[in-house]
Structure 1
Amino acid sequence: MALTVAMAGLSSWVPSLHSLLRSVLPLDGKGVMQNHYEEVFRNVPNAQLQLSFAGTLMELFVDLMGPVFQVLSSRYGIRPVLVLGSLVSVLGLELAGFTTQIWHLYLTQGVLFGAGASLLYVAAMSVPAQWFNKRRGLGLSMVSSGAGVGGVVLPFLVTEMNKKLDSGWTYRILGFVCLAVNVITCLLIKEKYPQQPAAAQQNLREIFDFGILKDTNFLIWVISTMISVMGYFVPFFFLPSYATHLGLSNSDGTSLTAVMAACTCVGRIGIGYISDTIGRINALILGHIVASLAAFLIWVFADNFGVLMAFAVVFGLVCSSYFALMSPITATIVGIDRFPTGLSVLLLTNMIPVFGPTIASAIETRVSSEPYFSYKMFTGVTFMLGAIILIFLKLKMTKAVLSKI
Structure 2
Amino acid sequence: MQNYYEQHVFIDLPNAVIQLSFVGTLALSFMRLMGPVAQLMEPWIGHKGVLVIGCLCKAIGMLMAGFATQVYQLYLFQGLLFGCGSSLMYYTSLTLTPQWFTKRKGLALGIVASGSGIGGLVVPFIMTSINSRLGPSWTYRILGFICLAMDLSACILIKQNPTFQSEKKKKKLSDIIQLNVLRDIDYVLWVIGSDIVLLGYFIPFYFLPSYGHYVGLTDAQGAVLVSISSAFNFVGRATTGYCADYLGQLNTNILFTLVGGLSCLLIWTFAYNFGALIGFSIVFGLFCGAYFSLLSPITMLILGKDRFPTGLSLLLIFNIIGVFGPNIASAIETSLLRSVGPAYQPFLSYKLFAGICYLVGVLVFVFLRFRINKNWRTLL
TM-score (normalised: structure 2): 0.91
Q: Work out whether 1:347 is the aligned partner of 2:319.
A: no
Query: Residues 365 and 161 (structure 1 numbering): CA distance in 2 closer, same or farther, change over 3 Å?
Result: closer
Aligned to 1:392: 367
> What letter matches 2:165 in structure 1?
P
Query: Residues 98 and 349 (structure 1 numbering): CA distance in 2 closer, same or farther, change over 3 Å?
Result: same
* Partner Cα separation in structure 2 for residue 249 and residue 163 of structure 1: 13
Query: Residues 176 and 304 (structure 1 numbering): CA distance in 2 closer, same or farther, change over 3 Å?
Result: closer
Which whole-Å deviations, capped at 9, do the CAs of 1:341-392 have from their partners, x for residues lacking one? 2221111111111111222223334455533332222122111111111111
8 Å contact kept, 1:88–1:112: yes
Q: Work out whether 1:242 is the aligned partner of 2:211.
A: yes
Q: Work out whether 1:311 is the aligned partner of 2:286.
A: no
Which whole-Å deviations, capped at 9, do the CAs of 1:106-132 have from their partners, x for residues lacking one? 221121111111111111211102222
Task: Give the count of matched residue pairs.
Answer: 372
Q: Offset at 1:154? A: 0.5
* Partner Cα separation in structure 1 for residue 20 and residue 212 of structure 2: 23
TM-score (normalised: structure 1): 0.86
Q: Work out whether 1:92 is the aligned partner of 2:67.
A: no
* Partner Cα separation in structure 1 for residue 200 and residue 121 of structure 2: 20
After TM superposition, the structure 1 = structure 2 runs for residues 137-216 of structure 1, keeping only pairs within 5 Å, are: 137-192=106-161, 193-197=164-168, 199-200=169-170, 202-216=171-185
Residue from 32, 42, 51 that aligns with 2:4: 32
Query: Residues 172 and 366 (structure 1 numbering): CA distance in 2 closer, same or farther, change over 3 Å?
Result: closer
Aligned to 2:348: 373
* Partner Cα separation in structure 2 for residue 115 and residue 216 of structure 1: 30
8 Å contact kept, 1:36–1:167: no
Which whole-Å deviations, capped at 9, do the CAs of 1:71-126 have from their partners, x for residues lacking one? 22255432111111112111212222222444322221121111111111111211
Q: Percent identity?
A: 45
8 Å contact kept, 1:70–1:344: no
Aligned to 1:330: 299
Q: Work out whether 1:68 is the aligned partner of 2:40.
A: no
Q: Offset at 1:48? A: 6.0
Query: Residues 48 and 282 (structure 1 numbering): CA distance in 2 closer, same or farther, change over 3 Å?
Result: closer
8 Å contact kept, 1:227–1:385: yes
Residue from 78, 85, 96 that aligns with 1:109: 78
Q: Specify the SS of the correspondent of 1:77.
A: helix
Q: Specify the SS of the correspondent of 1:196.
A: coil
Q: Offset at 1:174? A: 1.6
Aligned to 2:249: 280
Q: Specify the SS of the correspondent of 2:226.
A: helix
Q: Offset at 1:315? A: 0.9
* Partner Cα separation in structure 1 for residue 152 and residue 128 of structure 2: 26
8 Å contact kept, 1:71–1:208: no
* Partner Cα separation in structure 2 for residue 47 and residue 314 of structure 1: 30
* Partner Cα separation in structure 1 for residue 49 and residue 95 of structure 2: 15
Q: Offset at 1:217? A: 1.2
Aligned to 1:254: 223
* Partner Cα separation in structure 1 for residue 151 and residue 361 of structure 2: 34
* Partner Cα separation in structure 2 for residue 358 and residue 320 of structure 1: 20
Aligned to 2:330: 361
Query: Residues 106 and 132 (structure 1 numbering): CA distance in 2 closer, same or farther, change over 3 Å?
Result: same
Q: Offset at 1:195? A: 2.2
* Partner Cα separation in structure 1 for residue 67 and residue 273 of structure 2: 41
Q: Work out whether 1:299 is the aligned partner of 2:268.
A: yes
Q: Offset at 1:158? A: 1.1
* RMSD, aligned CA: 2.1
Which whole-Å deviations, capped at 9, do the CAs of 1:228-270 have from their partners, x for residues lacking one? 1111111122223333333333333222221111110111111
* Partner Cα separation in structure 1 for residue 350 and residue 66 of structure 2: 33
> What letter matches 2:25 in structure 1?
T
